[in-house]
């Protein structure tokens, strides 16, 4: 009989303490958890590994891709001896006025594990729709350039590059 | 590695007002690629440039999202219309929070 009140007293205190701990954890958990916000270089934040068809579907859905081989100049070597550095320049014929310009240029290489390579967001202030970059190509592959115009039209051009030595670290 | 983030920008030596100027930019960066162990990609915070932003007198004229499929020491080329004298700034942002900037003064001759 002597212990009953003290036992109930402890229970109440423990309960309150437990509630307080749960409350704190609930607040601090998402803020302080080390894995709560994955860093931008972690696998989850990278472009997914997929086939190029899946990339095209993910980026453009079922929107029609027009043949842009006359409007897009895809400048890159026919044979790249070293896949680690393949210079690619994409130039799209466009007046580049605020009313009619190229909004995005995507560079996609079919056989890379992560086919989506680079996405450029352009503005009319650029004067011409020209972007260039050095790519890493794992093996002989088609490289596609997709241009999204300001009216939503999608144009695509592609060309094959022969790669003698792959550039994705084996 | 001490050179990480060194930015070099080249523009033509003589620019006239209204010209469309071709710019070439290079940044020293490892652009770390995905490592694999037993065929499985290793999950860690890879060190590579994921964003490039070009501004001309404070206005953004070009942005790029880049991946590890861009080569080590990335090189970019683009053009812009030189409408007024000022500063062209290129900022490279990497996945470890690094921000590397290069600027070039645009003057007319």
Which residues in chain B touch residue A118, judged by CB atoms under 8 angstroms apart?
Answer: 64-67, 69-70
Q: Count of domains in chain A?
A: 2
> Any idea of the CA torsion for A87, B83, B103, B5, to the nearest 10 degrees?
-30
On whether both A70 and A141 belong to a single domain, the answer is yes
More reliable by pLDDT, A15 or A97: A97
**Residue range B5-26: mean pLDDT, rounded:** 94
CB atoms near residue B82 (< 10 Å): 22
Would an 8 Å CB–CB cutoff place A126 in contact with chain B?
A: yes
Does the pLDDT value for residue B20 go beyond 50? yes
Which residues in chain A touch residue B62, judged by CB atoms under 8 angstroms apart?
Answer: 120-123, 126, 131
The partner residues of B65 in beta bridges, in order of sequence, read: A119, B51
Kindly report, residue by residue over B32-88, the tens digit of the pLDDT.
999 989 888 999 999 999 999 999 999 999 999 999 999 999 999 999 999 999 999
Share of chain A above pLDDT 90, in %: 63
Does the residue A9 lie in any domain? yes
What token pair was written down for A27?
């607040």
- Ranking A30-34, A50-54, B39-43, B64-68 by mean pLDDT, the lowest is A30-34
Beta-carbon pairs below 8 A across chains A and B: 126
Q: B61 to each of A125, A140, A153, B42, how far by Cα in Å? A: 6, 33, 21, 36
B72/A85 touch (CB, cutoff 8 Å), yes or no: yes
| Cβ atoms A129, A73 nearer than 8 A | no
Domains of chain B, residue spans: 7-106
On whether both A29 and A54 belong to a single domain, the answer is no
- Which CATH code of 3.40.50.2300, 2.60.40.10, 3.40.630.30, 3.40.50.150 fits the domain covering B7-106? 2.60.40.10
On whether both A28 and A55 belong to a single domain, the answer is no
On whether both A30 and A54 belong to a single domain, the answer is no
On whether both A70 and A154 belong to a single domain, the answer is yes
Does the residue A44 lie in any domain? no
Task: Specify the pLDDT at position B53.
Answer: 96
Band of residue B1 on the pLDDT scale cut at 50, 70, 90: low
On whether both A29 and A74 belong to a single domain, the answer is no
Q: B24 to each of A96, A130, B21, B27, B40, how far by Cα in Å? A: 20, 11, 10, 10, 37
Task: Specify the pLDDT at position A34.
Answer: 43
Does the residue A29 lie in any domain? yes
The partner residues of B90 in beta bridges, in order of sequence, read: B54, B102
Q: A24 to each of A18, A27, A31, how far by Cα in Å? A: 10, 5, 11
HSE of A141 in the Cβ direction (CA atoms, 13 Å)? 23
On whether both A79 and A6 belong to a single domain, the answer is no
Q: What is the DSSP letter of B47?
A: -
What token pair was written down for A138?
């794992």
Task: Specify the pLDDT at position A32.
Answer: 39
Share of chain A above pLDDT 70, in %: 76
More reliable by pLDDT, A1 or A151: A151
More reliable by pLDDT, A5 or B95: B95
Does the residue A148 lie in any domain? yes
A133/B74 touch (CB, cutoff 8 Å), yes or no: yes
Kindly report, residue by residue over A19-29, the tens digit of the pLDDT.
555 554 444 44
Which are the contacts of B87, defined by CB distance < 8 A and separation ≥ 6?
B56, B57, B103, B104, B105, B106
On whether both A55 and A32 belong to a single domain, the answer is no
For tokens 């932003």, name the residue. Answer: B53
ipTM over 0.85: yes
What token pair was written down for A87?
């210079």
Task: Specify the pLDDT at position A145.
Answer: 96
Does the residue A42 lie in any domain? no
Does the pLDDT value for residue A90 go beyond 60? yes
Which are the contacts of B20, defined by CB distance < 8 A and separation ≥ 6?
A127, A128, B79, B80, B81, B82
Q: Give whichever of A36-40, A85-89, B41-45 has the largest mean pLDDT.
A: A85-89
Which residues in chain A touch residue B9, judged by CB atoms under 8 angstroms apart?
Answer: none
Print the domain residue range for A61: 49-165
Q: CA of A161 to nearest chain B CA: how many angstroms apart? A: 15
């Amino acid at each position: 009989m002597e212990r009953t009140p003290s036992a109930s007293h402890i229970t109440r205190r423990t309960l309150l303490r437990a509630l307080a701990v749960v409350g704190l954890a609930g607040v601090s958990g998402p803020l302080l958890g080390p894995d709560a916000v994955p860093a931008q270089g972690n696998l989850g934040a990278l472009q997914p590994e997929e086939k190029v068809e899946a990339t095209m579907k993910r980026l453009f859905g079922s929107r029609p891709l027009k043949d842009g081989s006359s409007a897009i100049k895809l400048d890159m070597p026919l044979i790249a001896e070293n896949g680690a550095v393949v210079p690619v320049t994409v130039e799209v014929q466009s007046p580049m006025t605020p009313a009619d310009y190229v909004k995005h240029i995507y560079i996609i290489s079919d056989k890379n594990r992560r086919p989506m390579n680079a996405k450029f967001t352009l503005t009319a202030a650029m004067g011409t729709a020209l972007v260039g970059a050095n790519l890493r190509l794992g093996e002989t592959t088609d490289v596609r350039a997709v241009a999204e115009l300001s009216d939503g039209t999608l144009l695509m051009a592609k060309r094959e590059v022969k790669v003698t030595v792959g550039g994705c670290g084996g | 590695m001490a050179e990480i983030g060194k930015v070099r920008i080249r523009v033509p030596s003589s620019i006239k007002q209204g010209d469309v100027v071709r710019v070439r930019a290079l940044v020293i960066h490892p652009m770390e690629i995905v490592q694999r162990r037993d065929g499985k990609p290793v999950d860690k915070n890879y060190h590579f440039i994921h964003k490039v932003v070009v501004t001309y007198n404070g206005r953004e004229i070009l942005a790029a999202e880049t991946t590890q499929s861009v080569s080590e020491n990335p090189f970019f080329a683009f053009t812009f219309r030189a409408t007024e004298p000022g500063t062209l700034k290129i900022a490279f942002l990497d996945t470890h929070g690094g921000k590397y900037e290069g600027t070039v003064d645009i003057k007319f001759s």
